[in-house]
Structure 1
Amino acid sequence: MSDLNKPVADRLLGIVLIGLAAFVAVQAIQLEVPFSYEPVGPRAFPLGLSILLAGLALVLVFKPGADGHWPSRALTIRLLLVLGLLLAYAMLFTRLGFVPTSLMVVAALARLFDATWIKALITGVLMSACSYVLFTEGLGIALPTGTWLAAIT
């Protein structure tokens, strides 16, 4: 394999991440909130993350690692499952609510990385409950309770 082809994986990942950063930036710019936030508003955090992601992705494109190689088939499948879980989390977050969605996704991620069922469930419960308290009480951020709960009450 020539030295030119070695960093292809890093460069390809960098290009994909730049596309993701652009998508996040466009979504953040289009974010409309009916009331004002002080001082920077809700766009600042996703825009900042997209700028950081694009900058780090440029490093991968222009200065790839010395031996950029593709991951094994098992690792690739595991990474695709992580991506699928994160996409499911984003789609179910408002419908099911923060706590149940976080519990399910964290437990599934723990199982994916070889935790036992009991450890995965304990991790999911602790992380979803603690992060809910941190966001709502500590930071004063309202998190969704889910549309399913509204249908019951």
Structure 2
Amino acid sequence: MSNIQKPVADRLLGIVLIGLAAFVAVQAIQLDVPFSYEPVGPKAFPLGLSILLAGLSLVLIFKPGADGHWPNRALSIRLLVVLGLLLVYALLFTRLGFVPTSVLVVAALARLFDATWTKALITGVLMSACSYVLFTEGLGIGLPTGTWLAAIT
């Protein structure tokens, strides 16, 4: 990317992200749920994220950052590992369930950024438990418990 100046790269990224935001918004609008959620349905979260993403993308387009440096090789590898962990999270979310998958991924992310095993596991457990309570009790959103429990019972 040495031939592309950072403001140009920021603007290109902003355009690509607006396209992603539009794709997510269209998919969310087309989401057909046979039952009603009160007060927030399953369309609200992806629509809200797509609006936020589009707004931040406009900032990249109209106010690109100053010339900067691309991440070094070590940071680039960490960022790719984060992307891989998020993909694993998406793949295991319904199979393992929300809590176990969240514990594993959050702990792995914490370890990736140099937390000790103890701190990483505590962080994973606390974040998973708190977010589970927030989603289920606070927002009334059911989260998957995992298909592995069906095999046991």
Q: TM-score over 0.5 for the alignment?
A: yes
Mapped partners of 1:89, 1:117: distance in 2: 19
Q: Which residue of 1 aligns with 2:50?
A: 50
Q: Which residue of 2 aligns with 1:78?
A: 78
Is the 8 Å Cα contact of residues 12 and 61 (structure 1) preserved in structure 2?
yes
Please list every run of 5 or more consecutive structure 2 residues that lacks an aligned counterpart in the other structure. Answer: none
| CA RMSD, Structure 1 to Structure 2 (Å) | 1.9
Report % sequence identity.
Answer: 90
Q: Return the offset for 1:39.
A: 5.1
Please list every run of 5 or more consecutive structure 1 residues that lacks an aligned counterpart in the other structure. Answer: none
Q: Secondary structure at 1:7's aligned position in 2?
A: helix
Q: Which residue of 2 aligns with 1:128?
A: 128
Distance 1:126 1:74, change over 3 A: same
Distance 1:116 1:39, change over 3 A: closer
Mapped partners of 1:107, 1:75: distance in 2: 19
TM-score by length of 2: 0.87
Mapped partners of 1:120, 1:77: distance in 2: 20
Q: Which residue of 2 aligns with 1:145?
A: 145
Q: Which residue of 2 aligns with 1:6?
A: 6
Q: Secondary structure at 1:126's aligned position in 2?
A: helix
Which amino acid in structure 1 is aligned with residue 62 of structure 2?
F
1:42-63 CA-partner distances (Å, limit 9, x unpaired): 2122112102211211210222
Between the two proteins, the alignment pairs up a number of residues equal to 150
Is the 8 Å Cα contact of residues 98 and 144 (structure 1) preserved in structure 2?
yes
